[in-house]
Amino acid sequence: MDTVIEVKDVKRDYITTKGWFLRKKKTLTAVDGINFCVNRGEIFGLLGENGAGKTTTIKMLITLLAPTAGVCKVLGFDTYKEADKIRGEINFVFGGEMGVYRRLSARDNLLYFAGLYKIKGKEAKKRTEELLKLVELEDAADRLVETYSKGMIQRLQIARGLINNPKIVFMDEPTVGLDPIGANMLRDIIRKLKEEGRTVLLTTHYMQEADELCDRIAIINKGKMIAMDTPENLKKSYGEKGMDSTLEQVFLALVKKEGV
């Protein structure tokens, strides 16, 4: 199978300094030597508690952060040294209400980002209309984003994340803040992306969602990878013997075992 994401012995430290003259350095290791590969067309889940290192891993893969050590490759290119070769082929969606221009309409937001992704005028308009329809924002497309609800902003974020027809989509807790209808819509979009042969790397705190969508799941705890397999195999390997364990039970058991 074709590997599109390669993470090898990756480590990421955050260094903070305090004071003006006698500056004290403090190092926090967010990701501590993780390894995994994602194949083309796969939905790959990264699970872990808050602060486990999921978002940092995604940020390194989308060329926003440099790894402190190890190799991070997307589509065969190094995410730090060859970022320019990757950026046009990928996109990302971060959960929450950030990442949109609130004083612009949804349509203007999408058209602007289409321009930044070098999509031509007519094509940009067509793509914008398709995406507004996909996330059901056609009726509110010309309203300023500052008048939107949390869920509507989140749906706009999803549309923005798909503006360039990315080969790989990175989604960091994309269903945070979405109502059940919005969350369901997003899950349908993710399934459709898979049908089209696109790769999705997803982080979520909703275990049922991960179980339902992901082909494979990696569980991270305190920056280290503690398990990686298909949801079924994870349940078989780490669930209680003779019982039908859920992914949530497996996750809790694994994290407790490693020590919180």
Partner 1 sequence: MKKWMIYWQIIVSTMTLQMKQSFARPMFRFCLICNPIVNTIFLYEMFLTKGPDAFLNHVVLGAGLMGIWGCICFSSVGDINRERWSGTLPLIYVAPGGFGLIVFGKVFGNTIMSLLTFVLSYVTAGVISGQWLYIVNIGYFLVSMVLMIVCFVVVSLCFAYIMMLSRKTELYMNLIEIPLVFICGFTFPVEVLPEWAQAISNLLAPTWAARLLRMSVGQVDKSVYVECTGILVIELLLMVLFTIGLYHWMDKRIRIRATLEVS
Do 235 and 247 contact (CB within 8 A), yes or no? yes
Nearest to 120 by CA among 163, 81, 82, 66: 163
| Residue linked to tokens 């569980």 | 219
Please select the residue that binds partner 1; options are 9, 66, 147, 179, rule is CB under 8 A. Answer: 66
H-state helical runs in the chain:
54-61, 83-87, 106-116, 121-134, 150-161, 180-195, 207-213, 231-238, 247-258
10 Å CB burial of residue 132 (0-12, 13-18, 19+) is buried
d(CA 184, CA 181): 5
By CB under 8 A, residue 143 contacts partner 1: no
Nearest to 235 by CA among 220, 245, 248: 245
Q: How far is the CB of 138 from partner 1 (least distance, A)?
A: 22
Handedness of CA 165, 167, 172, 176 (dihedral sign): positive
Backbone angles phi, psi at 221, to 5 degrees: -140, 125
Q: How far is the CB of 121 from partner 1 (least distance, A)?
A: 8
Q: Hey, what are 123's tokens? A: 């094509």
Please select the residue that binds partner 1; options are 160, 167, 222, 235, rule is CB under 8 A. Answer: 160
By CB under 8 A, residue 14 contacts partner 1: yes
Binding mask 99-118 for partner 1 (x = CB under 8 A): xxxxxx---x--xxx-xxxx
Q: Hey, what are 171's tokens? A: 């989604």
Please select the residue that binds partner 1; options are 11, 40, 87, 205, rule is CB under 8 A. Answer: 87
- CB of 64 or CB of 181, closer to partner 1: 64
- CB of 100 or CB of 189, closer to partner 1: 100
Q: How far is the CB of 116 from partner 1 (least distance, A)?
A: 4
Please select the residue that binds partner 1; options are 22, 26, 50, 98, rule is CB under 8 A. Answer: 98
Please select the residue that binds partner 1; options are 33, 40, 77, 83, rule is CB under 8 A. Answer: 83
By CB under 8 A, residue 126 contacts partner 1: no
Site for partner 1 in 193-232 (CB under 8 A): none
d(CA 124, CA 104): 17
- CB of 104 or CB of 252, closer to partner 1: 104
Please select the residue that binds partner 1; options are 51, 64, 142, 258, rule is CB under 8 A. Answer: 64
Site for partner 1 in 40-59 (CB under 8 A): 59
Q: How far is the CB of 255 from partner 1 (least distance, A)?
A: 25
Compute the chain's Rg from CA coordinates. Answer: 19
- CB of 104 or CB of 134, closer to partner 1: 104
The residues that touch partner 1, with contacts defined as CB under 8 A, are: 14-15, 59, 62-66, 80, 83-84, 87-88, 94, 96, 98-104, 108, 111-113, 115-118, 120-121, 160, 164
